Chains A and B, each alone.
Chain A
Amino acid sequence: MADFLLEIGLEEVPARMIAGAEAELGKRVNDLLTRERLLGPKAKLTTYSTPRRLAVLAEDVLPAQADTEEQLTGPSWKVAFKDGAPTKAAEAFAKKAGVPVEALVKVENAKGEYVGATVKREGVATPQVLAAELPKEVLALYWAKNMYWRAARPERFVRPVRWVVALLDSAVVPLEIAGIAAGNTSRGHRILHGEAPVIIEMAKSYAEALRAAYAVVDVAERRQSIRKALDAATRTVPGARWREDEPLVETVVHLTEWPSVVLGTFEQEYLTLPEEVLVTVMRDHQKYFAVEDAAGKLAPHFLAVLNTEADEQGREIIRHGNARVLRSRFKDAQFFWDFDQKTPLADRVESLKNVTFQKQLGSYHWKTEQNLRVARALADAVKNAGVPLDEAALVKSVELAKTDLTTELVKEFTELQGVIGGLYAIAQGLSSIVAQAIYDQYTPASIEDAIPKTIEGQLLGLADRIQTITAMFGIGSAPTGSKDPFALRRAANSIVKILAESGLPLTLTAVLDASGAEPANKEQVAAFLRERLHFYLKDVRGFAYDVVSAVLAAGSDDVRDAMARAEALTAARESADFAAISASFKRIKNILRQAEEKQFAIGSAQGVQLAPEAQQLFDVANALAPTVAKLRNQRAYGEALASIATLRPVVDAFFDKVMVLDPDAAVRGAHLGLIDRVLRGFSGIADFSEIVTG
Chain B
Amino acid sequence: MPLSPVSPSPVVSPAKPTALTFQELLFRLQGFWAARGCVLQQPYDVEVGAGTMAPETFLRVQGPKPYRVGYAQPSRRPADGRYGENPNRLFKHTQFQLILKPPPVNVQELYLESLQAIGIDLSQHDLKFEEDNWEWPAGGAWGVGWQVMLDGLEITQFTYFQQCGGIDLDPICSELTYGLERIAAFLQDVDSIYDIVWARDPETGAEVTYGDVRLPEELQFSVYNFEMADVPKLWEHFNQYEAEAKTLIEQANLVLTSEASSAVEKRRFPLLATYELALKCSHLFNLLDARGAISVTERVGVIGRIRTLAVGVAKAYALQQAA
Interface residues in chain A, defined as those with a beta carbon under 8 Å from any beta carbon in chain B: 11-12, 14-16, 51, 145-153, 159-160, 162, 190-192, 195, 236-240, 255-256, 263-265, 286, 288, 293-295, 299-301, 304, 306-308, 310-311, 313-314, 316-328, 331-332, 335, 353-356, 359, 363
Contact = CB atoms under 8 A, between A and B. Distances in A.
> Which 10 pairs from chain A and chain B are nearest by CB?
A321-B151, A14-B131, A12-B129, A314-B124, A322-B152, A306-B126, A325-B152, A151-B171, A356-B296, A325-B153
Interface stretch (B104-112, B198-206, B243-251, B273-281): B104-112
Contacts of A148: 162, 170, 172
B103 A149 contact: yes
Contact of B170 (A147, A151, A324, A355): A151
Nearest to A359: B300
Contacts of B8: 265
Interface string B167-178: 010111000000
B268 interface: no
B175 to A, nearest CB: 13
Contacts of A192: 123
Contacts of A12: 128-131, 146
Contact of B151 (A239, A240, A295, A325): A325
A15 B5 contact: no
30 contacts: A11-B108, A11-B129, A12-B129, A15-B131, A145-B133, A147-B144, A149-B160, A151-B102, A236-B7, A237-B4, A237-B5, A239-B1, A286-B152, A288-B152, A299-B3, A306-B126, A307-B128, A310-B123, A310-B126, A313-B124, A317-B125, A318-B124, A318-B126, A320-B12, A321-B125, A321-B150, A324-B153, A327-B191, A335-B82, A354-B292
Contacts of B170: 148, 151-153
A238 B6 contact: yes
A293 B143 CA distance: 43
A153 B169 CA distance: 9
B122 A51 contact: no
Contacts of B6: 236-238
Given A12-B128, A237-B5, A321-B152, 8 more contacts: A147-B160, A149-B172, A150-B171, A151-B102, A236-B7, A237-B4, A255-B128, A306-B126
B127 interface: yes
Contacts of B123: 191-192, 308, 310, 314
Contacts of B126: 304, 306-308, 310, 318, 321-322
Report the contact-size class of chain B (Cβ under 8 Å from the partner): 35 or more
A307 B127 contact: yes
A544 B168 CA distance: 51
B9 interface: yes
Interface in B1-40: 1, 3-10, 12
A331 B108 contact: no
B195 interface: no
Nearest to B171: A151
B9 A320 contact: yes
Contacts of B292: 354
Interface in B28-86: 82, 86
B124 A328 contact: no
Nearest to A146: B144
Contacts of B172: 147-149
A264 B151 CA distance: 12
Contacts of B143: 147
Given A51-B129, A314-B124, A332-B88, A321 B162 contact: no
Nearest to A13: B131
B295 A354 contact: yes
B122 A191 contact: yes
Interface string B273-301: 00000000000000000001001100110
B152 A326 contact: yes
A346 B233 CA distance: 32
Contacts of A327: 191
A190 B112 contact: yes
Contacts of A354: 292, 295-296
B87 interface: yes
A162 B144 CA distance: 17
Given A255-B128, A264-B9, A321-B186, A328 B87 contact: yes
A240 B153 contact: no
Contacts of A332: 86, 88-89
Nearest to B108: A11
A152 B170 CA distance: 6
B88 A236 contact: no
B88 A328 contact: yes
A331 B88 contact: yes
A644 to B, nearest CB: 58
A317 to B, nearest CB: 5
A355 B296 contact: yes
Nearest to A251: B130
Contacts of A314: 123-125
Contacts of A299: 3
Contacts of B105: 160, 162
Contact of A191 (B87, B103, B127, B299): B127
A353 B295 CA distance: 8
Contacts of B88: 328, 331-332
A411 to B, nearest CB: 10
Given A322-B152, A331-B88, A300 B3 contact: yes
Nearest to A156: B162
Given A191-B122, A353-B296, A294 B127 contact: no
Given A145-B133, A147-B162, A323 B86 contact: no
Contacts of B152: 286, 288, 304, 321-322, 325-326
B130 to A, nearest CB: 7
A14 B299 CA distance: 32
Nearest to B132: A14
Nearest to A16: B131
| Residue of B5, B12, B87 with most partner-chain A CB within 10 A | B5
Nearest to A288: B152
Contacts of B168: 153
B189 A324 contact: yes
A328 B191 contact: yes
B188 to A, nearest CB: 11
Contacts of A264: 9
A308 B109 contact: no
A104 B170 CA distance: 59
Contacts of B108: 11
A12 B144 CA distance: 12
B321 to A, nearest CB: 17
A331 B131 contact: no
Contacts of A159: 144
B3 A316 contact: no
A237 B9 contact: no
A149 B159 CA distance: 11
Nearest to B192: A328
A195 B87 CA distance: 38
| Residue of A192, A304, A314, A355 with most partner-chain B CB within 10 A | A314
Contacts of A255: 128, 130
A318 B6 CA distance: 18
Contacts of B150: 321
Contacts of A328: 87-88, 191
Contact of A294 (B1, B103, B162): B1
Nearest to A150: B171
Nearest to A357: B296
Nearest to A326: B152
A359 B9 CA distance: 51
A317 B299 contact: no
Contacts of B5: 236-237, 263, 265, 301
Interface in B139-198: 143-144, 146, 150-153, 160, 162, 168, 170-172, 186, 189, 191
Nearest to A266: B9
B127 A308 contact: yes
Nearest to A51: B129
A333 to B, nearest CB: 11
B282 to A, nearest CB: 20
